[in-house]
């Protein structure tokens, strides 16, 4: 999980502990140090890395393939893995970013990528009454850039979503997307290595490994406390997600299992598959409402790739709509504003759902049962990770537990609150430096005082918001970032904020229980700077805190929403084909029409798997 708004601070916290580094310059030094360590351990034969560079054939000005796929992210990787099983299909995968870095495989350090070229670096537009405690009042809208896409820099939290979610998706006029239809894909894609009581929902033959998160004692206490508070221990990726559990991660023997490492790495040598990196698609080539190729820029030159069968966009929920808009598919008035000739007037980018999260709910402990990051730069930790899949480097931002709950305001049977238990805190104890940050006032006046204490925290996420944002063009230049409006907490009834506050109180109920009391757990109750005028723990206080530090969970969906032709918001149909167009599909999280009780990486893999089958059905 976790916001990039503070992961940087978290990283600097680790640095402060060990090296007393404190500025952005030193982040680059840290990255260098981690890289050098891995290379040295590899050269001396103490670890073995699985990663080999991606090579590609010479590029011609014009090339032709059966399928041209745009974006090597979570969905694109799954799609390409499956389509390239068909030996007589030729496939071109174009990815704007480059290769993974050697540290991205290591869960603990992998989020470093967020502060490098592996992140597109999107920031939401400034909006009223949200992000009040962030620099420039702009929310980071992080997106992975590189082979693997967002799964290269994400937090590897493994969640499928529930029967209610997918049945709702299907009920909106999307046959084939109900739970019964999709469960086989969730099973197919995974290799669940966790012992589970009712295993009948889980898969064991797929490329995506599932393992429990690294635990410290505080993770065990979280389970005890939640059970005592009335939650059942569940396999939250099984029959029901309602309850508490150790967090399941998509790691393979302790290492990141991304679209790159688990879907593409094993098949990248297939002769019928060409993967071109640093290849930025600028528009789809369209004639007579038929997509016949794409134009892309590599090393400053423009190239054309023709598609004999289809063009498929897997550029993610921010970039797929951007590419459609640049190609003339989208709201007519918006296109005309940028001088783009309208081809199909669809509501591209007009609705974007995400999961707003408050993740700085901190607690102090009187004993060291939380995460101790001082081990994470030791050679032994790297060796244990690579050779045995064990140790603290398996940990991602100290994530340990997950809990799903239905709030008192939940519209249907969905679980709409998620609480994540962490054995650390992402701001407290750090120096307030970094490219994205809370304001210095907040750091100095709120979090700094908790330095050098044993700390844990909870993140609370709203899974089924009413509020939504949107994505629009900022410019007709394909290299200019689109405008992103998060739209958090804009629902007129104010229901979203109420549910988040309910979630915060529930997290407090668990963390301040007798089970944690044995470890002297106390809330970090120094008010968030800017919210001192409210009585601590009042509804007004929490609303203020959330409006200051609530952030994106990077679970953008619905910007190229699936729906029947009769749905005015729909961009693709249930076969992932763009309405009114021929030979053009979208296969990524942008097509997801309904909010899910889940983080979106596994759903992204599922969409790739199912998309591949839809395409195979059509041509074979």
Distances (CA, A) of 441 to 128, 449, 541: 20, 13, 18
Q: Does 391 bind ligand FAD (CB under 6 A)?
A: no
The stretch among 176-184, 393-401, 404-412, 515-523 that binds ligand NAG (CB under 6 A) is: 515-523
Q: Which does 43 bind (CB under 5 to 8 A by kind): ligand NAG, ligand FAD, none?
A: none
From CA 576, how far away is CA 562, in angstroms rounded?
A: 7
Query: Does residue 609 touch ligand FAD according to CB under 6 A?
Result: no
Residue 281 assigned to a binding site: yes
Nearest to 104 by CA among 121, 116, 92, 88: 116
Between 194 and 410, CB nearer to ligand NAG:
194
What is d(CA 334, CA 340) in angstroms, rounded to the nearest whole number?
9
153 touches ligand FAD (CB under 6 A): yes
Kindly state the smallest distance separating residue 271's Cβ from ligand NAG, in Å.
3
- Helix (H) / strand (E) containing 363: strand 356-365
The answer to whether 295 touches 285, Cβ cutoff 8 Å, is: yes
Answer for which of 157, 262, 360, 507 binds ligand FAD (CB under 6 A) is 157
Query: Is the Cβ of residue 319 or residue 376 nearer to ligand FAD in the bound state?
Result: 319
Q: Please, is 32 exposed, middle or buried when counting C-beta atoms within 10 Å of its C-beta (0-12, 13-18, 19+)?
A: exposed
Contact mark string toward ligand FAD, 104..123, x via CB under 6 A: ----------x---------
Considering beta carbons, is residue 144 or 203 the nearer one to ligand FAD?
144
Q: Minimum distance from CB of 307 to ligand FAD (Å)?
A: 14
What string of H, E and C letters represents the secondary structure of 62-84? EEEEEEEEECCCHHHHHHHHHHC
Q: Does residue 532 bind ligand NAG (CB under 6 A)?
A: no
* Residue 58 CB burial class (10 angstroms; 0-12, 13-18, ≥19): exposed
Q: Which of residues 80-139 bind ligand NAG (CB under 6 A)?
A: 84-88
Inter-axis angle of helices 495-511 and 217-228, to 10 degrees? 110
Q: Judged by CB under 6 A, which of 25, 43, 55, 288 binds ligand NAG?
A: 288
Residue 397 CB, shortest distance to ligand FAD, in Å, is 9
Of 270, 298, 378, 498, the residue at the interface with ligand NAG (CB under 6 A) is 270
Q: How far is the CB of 206 from ligand NAG (least distance, A)?
A: 7
CB of 114 closer than 8 Å to CB of 142: yes
Can you read off the two tokens belonging to residue 55?
Answer: 């090579």
Q: Print burial letters for 367-387: b (CB count within 10 Å at least 16), e (below 16).
A: eebbbebeebbeeebbbbbbe
Q: How far apart are CA 418 and CA 402, in angstroms?
A: 7
Q: Among this protein's residues, is 355 annotated catalytic?
A: no
Residues at the interface with ligand NAG (CB under 6 A): 22, 84-88, 191, 193, 204-205, 270-272, 288, 366-367, 431, 433, 517-520, 620
Binding-site members for FAD are: 281
| Residues annotated catalytic, as ranges | 555, 599
Residues at the interface with ligand FAD (CB under 6 A): 1, 4, 70-76, 94-97, 114, 142-145, 149-151, 153-157, 159, 280-281, 314-317, 319, 323, 554-555, 588-589, 599-602, 604
């Amino acid at each position: 999980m976790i916001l990039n708004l503070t992961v940087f601070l978290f990283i600097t916290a680790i640095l402060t502990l060990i090296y007393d580094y404190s500025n952005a310059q030193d982040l680059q030094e840290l990255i260098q140090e981690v890289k050098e360590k891995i290379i040295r351990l590899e050269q001396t034969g103490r670890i073995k890395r699985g990663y080999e560079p991606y090579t590609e054939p010479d590029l011609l000005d014009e090339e032709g393939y059966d399928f041209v796929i745009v974006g090597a992210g979570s969905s694109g990787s799954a799609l390409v893995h499956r389509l390239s099983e068909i030996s007589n299909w030729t496939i071109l995968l174009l990815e704007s970013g480059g290769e993974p870095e050697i540290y991205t495989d290591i869960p603990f350090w992998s989020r470093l990528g967020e502060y490098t070229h592996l992140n597109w670096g999107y920031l939401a537009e400034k909006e009223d009454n949200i992000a009040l405690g962030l620099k420039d009042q702009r929310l980071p809208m992080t997106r992975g850039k590189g082979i693997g896409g967002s799964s290269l820099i994400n937090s590897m939290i493994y969640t499928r979503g529930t029967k209610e979610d997918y049945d709702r998706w299907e009920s909106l006029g999307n046959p084939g997307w109900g739970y019964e239809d999709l469960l086989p894909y969730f099973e197919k894609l995974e290799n669940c290595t966790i012992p589970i009581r009712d295993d009948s929902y889980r898969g064991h033959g797929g490329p995506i490994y599932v393992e429990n998160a690294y635990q410290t004692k505080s993770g065990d206490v979280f389970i005890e406390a939640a059970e005592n508070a009335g939650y059942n221990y569940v396999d939250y990726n099984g029959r029901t997600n309602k309850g508490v559990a150790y967090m399941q991660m998509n790691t393979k023997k302790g290492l990141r299992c991304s679209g790159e490492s688990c879907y593409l790495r094993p098949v990248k040598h297939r002769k019928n598959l060409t993967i071109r990196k640093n290849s930025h698609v600028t528009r789809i080539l369209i004639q007579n409402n038929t997509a016949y190729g794409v134009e892309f820029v590599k090393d400053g030159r423009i190239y054309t790739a023709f598609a004999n069968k289809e063009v498929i966009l897997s550029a993610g929920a921010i970039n797929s709509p951007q590419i459609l808009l640049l190609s003339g598919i989208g709201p007519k008035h918006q296109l005309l504003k940028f001088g783009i000739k309208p081809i199909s007037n669809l509501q591209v980018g007009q609705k974007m759902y995400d999961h707003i999260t408050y993740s700085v709910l901190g607690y102090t402990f009187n004993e060291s049962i939380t995460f101790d990051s001082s081990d994470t730069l030791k050679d032994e930790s790297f060796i244990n990770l690579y050779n045995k899949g064990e140790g603290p480097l398996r940990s991602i931002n100290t994530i340990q537990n997950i809990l799903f709950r239905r709030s008192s305001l939940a519209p249907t049977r969905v679980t709409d609150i998620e609480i994540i238990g962490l054995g650390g805190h992402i701001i407290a104890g750090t120096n307030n430096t970094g490219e994205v940050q809370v304001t210095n006032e907040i750091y100095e006046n709120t979090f700094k005082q908790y330095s050098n204490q044993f700390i844990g925290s909870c993140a609370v996420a709203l899974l089924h918001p009413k509020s939504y944002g949107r994505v629009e063009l900022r410019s007709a230049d394909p290299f200019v970032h689109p405008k992103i409006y998060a739209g958090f907490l804009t629902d007129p009834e104010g229901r979203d904020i109420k549910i988040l506050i309910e979630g915060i109180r529930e997290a407090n109920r668990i963390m301040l229980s007798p089970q944690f009391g044995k470890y002297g757990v106390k809330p970090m109750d120094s008010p968030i700077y800017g919210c001192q005028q409210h009585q601590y723990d009042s509804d007004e206080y929490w609303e203020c805190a959330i409006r200051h530090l609530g952030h994106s969970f990077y679970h953008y969906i619905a910007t190229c929403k699936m729906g029947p032709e009769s749905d005015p918001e729909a961009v693709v149909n249930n076969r992932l084909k763009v309405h009114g167009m021929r030979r053009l599909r979208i296969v990524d999280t942008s097509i997801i029409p309904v909010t899910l009780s889940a983080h979106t990486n596994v759903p992204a893999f599922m969409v790739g798997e199912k998309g591949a089958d839809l395409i195979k059905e059509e041509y074979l």
